[in-house]
Amino acid sequence: MDDEFNSLDDDWINKFENTDKLYQEFYKDDLYYVNLRAIYVNRENEIDKIRNESFLMSKPNQITQEEIIQILKKNSIDNDKRYTLLSILKYNINLEPDNVKEYLLEKINPDYLFCIKNIDVVNFDKTINMFQDLNDIIFIFYEKSGELKKVDTKNSTKKIYLRCLNANNRKTIKKRYKE
């Protein structure tokens, strides 16, 4: 019985594993990192600067709300200028392995860019291993106007402080009633 088990042909398993290694890049897998891009736009609507970095996610396929807030705080000031968030965009390639050939030949043109409307958990779909480095989250910042901080003195109300000048010279007046 042992001879029969040892004599079984397992070459086909080895061939299959070798062939499967060739297609490993075309399988969908979880995302553990994305490219983080911060685009800074000045008051004249021109791009001042683009900052790129890789962002390692704490959970596969998602960026938590706390991580987004941390990214916003970190990137809201650049070169002593304050910026406000204009938009958050997510670029996630969720192409199916069967459609890779058509995509590369430009026969299909799917939409992979999504606008994030709320600062909440951002979920990414599983991506083919070959395209994982193309997934991005893009933050567009707009320069805050310094003119908004100035207050027009003509239209503002002045604060009035009421205080007693001489606290020691207080007099109590008694009212006398006539009978």
Q: Give the pLDDT confidence of 56-110 residue by residue, as tens digits.
A: 999 999 999 999 999 999 999 988 899 999 999 999 988 888 887 887 787 777 8
Which one is predicted more confidently, 4 or 119?
Answer: 119
The structure's pTM equals 0.68
Residue-level pLDDT at 169: 57
- Right CATH for 32-146 from 1.10.3860, 2.30.30, 3.10.450, 3.10.20: 3.10.20
Q: Which pLDDT band, with edges at 50, 70 and 90, does 148 fall under?
A: very low
Q: String of b and e for 109-125 (b: at least 16 CB within 10 Å)? A: eeebeeebeeeeebebe
Model pLDDT, residue 146: 64
Residue 90's identity, in one-letter code, is K
Where do the domains of the chain lie? 32-146
Q: Helix or strand or coil: residue 14? A: helix
In this structure, is the dihedral angle defined by the CA atoms of residues 51, 52, 58 and 62, taken in order, positive or negative?
positive
Q: Cα–Cα distance between 141 and 41 in angstroms, integer?
A: 6
**Of 73-82, 148-157, 167-176, which one has max mean pLDDT?**
73-82
Condensed to tens digits (0 to 9), the pLDDT of residues 156-168 reads 677 766 665 555 5
pLDDT tens-digit map of 28-67: 889 999 999 999 999 999 999 999 999 999 999 999 999 9
Q: Across the chain, what does the average pLDDT equal?
A: 82
d(Cα 129, Cα 94) in Å, to the nearest integer? 11
